[in-house]
Amino acid sequence: MRILISGSSGLIGSALVPALTKRGHDVTRLVRTSAEVAGGVVWNPEAGMLDLSRQAPFDAVIHLAGENIGAKRWTASRKVRLRESRTKGTALVAEMIARMEPPPALFISASAIGYYGDRGDEVLTEENKAGSGFLAELCQEWEAAAQPARKAGIRTVCIRTGMVLASHGGALPRMLPLFKLGLGGRLGNGRQYMSWITLEDVVGAILHILFEPRLAGPVNLVSPHPVTNSEFTKVLAGVLHRPAISPAPRWALRMATGEMADPLLLYSARVEPAKLLESDHRFEDPELGAALQRILRGMPSHS
């Protein structure tokens, strides 16, 4: 397949591109400057600049670009930036590929399980409605921005990704120093559900979507076995053979990270990958303990 991809240098993109090329697919990257990748297509979503008129047809477009949601405190200006980096970029890509002759058969666009908001113990599938709050509203706008591709008849999939576990990025490497010292602990009351997925399973799910025409609309990219924060804490501490006796109270998390503490650390989303399971997708890492053991074995600093 001939595939166009944005966000190729991010956590997911940097794992997805080599997986695609290893399987013989021809990958073209959307880049900010021509110096980034030879042969890439330069774009500027803030300026609305993306010219695909001279490109040969693509079979699929995978759009992963967007500002890191947890990199900085959510000031008013930061929230504008987070929203625009997702909605403007997605709308631009969707509009440009809708104009291509012929258009690609598939558009995969990033989203997140933040769509569901804070839902307690409720089991959530792709059929559930959106929650409330900044992150849920952002995800709704993000997915709506893909509408031009849908209207053009392109099979459009919005991948609602959970917490990605990886050895070299995401949340896990930030957790490990405290847990290795025996200073890890639950967040808040620990009852909130964490819907997680390994980076390898994210890549595997995207590869599955490429060749599964039954999949369209929202698709949850999470493990089939979500856990509460207390369970996650217990399993991680057990894998590391350390105690986990230092809980972080809600007030301390809010003081440390501001408004984003609630949606990123304390909200509960018990999300299931219903569509992936219905389409007979198999996960490499369905169980948290085995997944953490495999990831930690691959980290040079782990002992």
Residue 258 counted as domain residue: no
How far, in Å, CA of 225 to CA of 286, rounded?
A: 6
Residue 45 counted as domain residue: yes
The secondary structure of the chain in percent helix, strand, coil, rounded to multiples of 5, reads 40, 20, 40
H or E, element range at 232 = helix 229-240
Residue 263 counted as domain residue: no
In tens, the pLDDT along 122-131 reads 999 999 999 9
Residue 129 counted as domain residue: yes
Q: What single string gives the DSSP state of each residue in 137-193?
A: HHHHHHHHTTHHHHHTT-EEEEEEE-EEE-SSSBSHHHHHHHHHTTB---BTTS-SE
- What sign does the dihedral 215-207-169-64 (CA atoms) show? negative
Q: What is the pLDDT of residue 299?
A: 82
Task: CATH number of the domain at 21, please.
Answer: 3.40.50.720
Residue 48 tokens read as 């609305």
What residues make up the domain containing 97? 2-170+195-223+270-285
Taking every pair of Cα atoms in the chain, the longest distance, rounded to a whole number of angstroms, is 59
Q: HSE on the CB side for 90, CA within 13 Å?
A: 30
- Mark the ranges of the chain whose per-residue pLDDT is less than 70: 301-303
Residue 264 counted as domain residue: no
Q: Can you say how many angstroms the Cα of residue 87 is from the centroid of all Cα atoms in its chain?
A: 15
Report the number of secondary-structure helices (H) and strands (E) in the chain. Answer: 11, 14
Residue 179 counted as domain residue: no
Q: What is the pLDDT of residue 302?
A: 54
In tens, the pLDDT along 93-142 reads 999 999 999 999 999 999 999 999 999 999 999 999 999 999 999 999 99
155-161 and 217-221 beta bridge pairing: parallel
Residue 141 counted as domain residue: yes
Residue 40 tokens read as 């890439």
Q: HSE on the CB side for 159, CA within 13 Å?
A: 28
The number of folded domains in the chain is 1
How far, in Å, CA of 10 to CA of 28, rounded?
A: 15
The values of phi and psi at residue 227, to 5°, are: -130, 160
* 3-class secondary-structure state, position 281: coil
Residue 261 counted as domain residue: no
Q: Could you identify the residue written with the tokens 């595997």? A: 204
